[in-house]
Amino acid sequence: MPSPNTITVSQLHRLVGLPDAPVLVDVRIDEDFDADPWFIPSAFRHPFGQIDALAPKLAGRKVVVVCWKGLKLSAGAAAILRTAGVDAEVLEGGTTAWKEADLPRVPAASIPARNDQGQTVWVTRHRPKIDRIACPWLVRRFVDPSARFLFVAPSEVTGVAERYGATPFDVEDVFWSHRGETCSFDTMVAEFGLTTKPLKRLATIVRGADTNRHDLAPEAAGLLAASLGLSRMYKDDLRQLEAGMLLYDAYYRWARDAVEEGHDWPSASRKG
């Protein structure tokens, strides 16, 4: 009989990428992680023996603890978190079951180094429009929910990256940028191992909007219009990013769950 404090791989998969997704804590020991250095999207590592230290940061959040096979390490860590009042579950079957289900996994080697607060730090040009909102959305929803984004003058991106240990993106001559006819968002989807059907569909829309190729997807023109509207509504880049997160949440849910759905008025049943 399944434990009441477990979640299945299929149940978790439906939650990953959503704004209210649970926090995923990977407590695998080094030996197990080194043998399979990949993350379930949005997960981060934390020593199982120091799980108590996370409890204050996780207050009020839904948490799923992950280990190699979903047994003693994750069960114990989740139980300790629950004693601290945290709503914590265990992933049934652990990372092994996720891998066997052939679900997307983020290679650890693709994730930039984290700062002292455990955050990845990214820097790009100020006054973002499309790629520079889409990429942060992807990172926060599927790679590092705590990621910090710095928006600076174009001439300062390289210097800020060097001085503050930030990873530059969507600027010329850096790794995380356009490649040929594809966009920075395409690069991140590929490098982070997130080539799912919904994200590839969304990537096509982003590419069409960002490169003015609305022939790639009919939704590209709408994304461009919404993005330019947001850029006029907000002078502060971080406030614009927060508003843009909701925009991309909506596009992602459409790409995942509503592509086949249409809408008309009057409804077909009332015509004739």
At 267 the pLDDT is: 67
At 3 the pLDDT is: 74
Show the domain range for 198.
Answer: 111-258
Same domain flag for 138 and 231: yes
| Model confidence pLDDT, tens digit, residues 203-233 | 999 999 999 999 999 999 999 999 999 999 9
Q: What is the CATH number of the domain that holds 65?
A: 3.40.250.10
Same domain flag for 174 and 252: yes
At 87 the pLDDT is: 98
Residue type, 14: R
Judge whether 248 lies within some domain.
yes
At 53 the pLDDT is: 96
Same domain flag for 143 and 251: yes
Positions in the chain whose pLDDT score sits under 50: 1, 272
**E strands in the chain:** 6-7, 23-26, 38-39, 44-45, 62-66, 87-91, 106-107, 121-125, 148-152, 167-168
Same domain flag for 140 and 155: yes
